[in-house]
Every structure is written in structure tokens, then in C-alpha cells.
Amino acid sequence: MPVSALSPFFSAGFGRPTKYLYTVVGVLILQQNHDLNDAEAVDQLAYNIQWHYALNIFEESDTAKYMCPKTLWTMRTIVAEHGLEDVLFDAGTRKLAEVFDVDTDKQRTDSVHIRSNMRRLGRINIFSRSIHRFLKNLKRYHPSRVDTVETEIMHRYDSEKALAALTQGQKTLEQVSADLYRLILQFKDCQDVNGMQSFKLLQRVLDEQCSVSDDGNRVEVKAPKQIPSDSLQNPSDPDAS
């Protein structure tokens, strides 16, 4: 442990003796690793034999196993104010990599953050694009069903130009949610339609973004904080979250 990073902040000939710095650095690292507050960290140092083993503490005295919460707070403040976090954790990481012969050029794939290059859509666009995608597929695979769709809905979502004309606002959000719900009610019992992927996306948007009344006659848009993080972000990439 890099105790030399902390030692310059203390004097050998002035002030009270400081806590054993190897113990201090070890407690700081273990506290962060286990997400403990100061009181919990002090208790672990005093009573947890696993911590004693990890910190190479074999004495039974209070001097070896007790640390005042104020001391821990002061030490952590020094680390934070002087940007020593990277020094403390990098030293341990490097030592572990050396001991276990870890090749740091290789990484697990789940440690890589991959972001989709798709366009980020607002809630109105998620509704309208999902409806547009469904109507487009309905035309392609079931053209005889298109004439059964309400004219106003076809006019609002049939073309890119119509989508661009939709304005932002609560009134429009209520409108697109109601339109989506009407399409679901219309085709939910049509086996040749409700099996389409684009129809399933309509149902997913409804479940994630809306609440339906008990009698099934009214649909309300959920508050933004109620929307799950894995909700549909773009009909063109249903798996992205």
C-alpha cells in the first residue's frame, strides 16, 4: 500500500503521533470497497477478524484495532483534497495484476460500454414512430386491412412529412397515446396482425408508457419517472436501452 502518498502530510517531530498509516490506508480502501460509512468502518476494524487478517494486525490492543471516526474522516479528507484516490487504488490494482499475472491488454467484453448510433427519440416520437412502423408494415403484408384504419390516424402517421408536423406538447402526447391504444384495440383479436413484430412494439409502448383504466375505456400517459430504463428507445432498435 502506498503509505508514502500520505506520509508527507505529517511531521516526525511535531504534533501527536498519527495512526499507523498502513492501517489507515487499508481501512480507507476496505471502506470504499464495502460501501461503509465511517461508524461501520470503525466497527469492522475493531471486531472483524477478516479485516485484522487483511491488514496484518495480530495485536489485541486498542491501539492496533481502534480508530476514531474523526481520524478516519481527516485521513479521507486529505486523500480527497489532494487527489490521492487514483494513487491508492492504482497501486493495489497493479500489485494484484502482477501477483496473478493478469494481462491488462485483455478486457472482459462486459466491461466495455457500447452505445448505439441510433437517433435518440423523445416520448412523442417513440409513439408516433412505432405507429408509423406498424402502418407501413400493415400496408405491405395486409393491404386489405388498411382501409379499416381510421382516416385521421392514417393522415397523421402515414408519411414522414406527417410525422414531422406533429408538435411537441402534452396535448400531442395524449393524442398519440390515444391513437396507439385505438390501433391496439382494433387489431388485438386479428391473428394475422397481432403476430406482427411492429404490432408487438405497439403493445410494448403501451405497457411501458401508459396506464389503462380498469374499464379499458381510457388511457393515460405515465409520469416520466415511472418509465423503466429498459423501455423502448427506438422502434428501429428494440433491444437498445
CA-closest candidate to residue 127, choices 185, 194, 64, 202: 202
**Does residue 168 surpass a pLDDT of 60?**
no
Q: What average pLDDT does range 93-117 have in this prediction?
A: 76
**Does residue 15 surpass a pLDDT of 60?**
no
Distance CA(132)–CA(128), nearest Å, equals 6
The three grid cell numbers given for residue 4, joined into one nine-digit string: 508514502
Q: What average pLDDT does range 148-158 have in this prediction?
A: 92
Residues 82 and 141 reside in one and the same domain? no
Q: Output the pLDDT for position 205.
A: 96
Residues 135 and 62 reside in one and the same domain? no
Residues 127 and 83 reside in one and the same domain? no
From residue 185, alpha-carbon distances to 146, 201, 223 in Å are 15, 14, 23
Total structural domains in the chain? 2
Residue 55: pLDDT band with limits 50, 70, 90: confident
- Residue 233 within any structural domain of the chain: no
pLDDT in tens, 74-99: 888 888 888 888 887 887 788 888 89
Q: Quick check: helix, strand or coil at residue 220?
A: strand
- Residue 116 within any structural domain of the chain: no
- Residue 154 within any structural domain of the chain: yes
CA-closest candidate to residue 186, choices 174, 198, 194: 194
Q: Output the pLDDT for position 223.
A: 93
Q: Comparing 3 with 231, which gets the higher pLDDT?
A: 231
The answer to whether residues 79 and 6 touch, using CB atoms and an 8 Å cutoff, is yes
- Residue 202 within any structural domain of the chain: yes
The answer to whether residues 183 and 198 touch, using CB atoms and an 8 Å cutoff, is no
Q: Comparing 140 with 86, which gets the higher pLDDT?
A: 140
71-82: string of b/e by CB count within 10 Å (b at 16+)? bbeebbeebeee
Residues 78 and 151 reside in one and the same domain? no
Residues 129 and 222 reside in one and the same domain? yes
**Does residue 124 surpass a pLDDT of 80?**
yes
Task: Please tell me the pTM assigned to this model.
Answer: 0.52
Q: Output the pLDDT for position 33.
A: 86
**Does residue 6 surpass a pLDDT of 80?**
no
pLDDT in tens, 171-204: 689 999 999 999 999 999 999 999 999 999 999 9
Distance CA(25)–CA(150), nearest Å, equals 70
Residues 7 and 85 reside in one and the same domain? yes
- Residue 133 within any structural domain of the chain: yes
Residue that finishes a domain, picked among 76, 104, 132: 104
**Does residue 32 surpass a pLDDT of 90?**
no
**Does residue 31 surpass a pLDDT of 80?**
yes
Residues 50 and 21 reside in one and the same domain? yes
Residues 67 and 15 reside in one and the same domain? yes
Residues 51 and 134 reside in one and the same domain? no
Q: Comparing 207 with 106, which gets the higher pLDDT?
A: 207
- Residue 92 within any structural domain of the chain: yes
- Give the orientation angle of helix 21-33 with respect to helix 38-47, to 10 degrees: 120
Distance CA(223)–CA(63), nearest Å, equals 55
Residues 86 and 164 reside in one and the same domain? no
Residues 129 and 219 reside in one and the same domain? yes
- Residue 134 within any structural domain of the chain: yes
Residue that finishes a domain, picked among 104, 133, 166: 104
CA-closest candidate to residue 75, choices 46, 32, 34: 32
- Residue 28 within any structural domain of the chain: yes
Residues 204 and 155 reside in one and the same domain? yes
- What is the span of the domain harbouring residue 154? 123-226
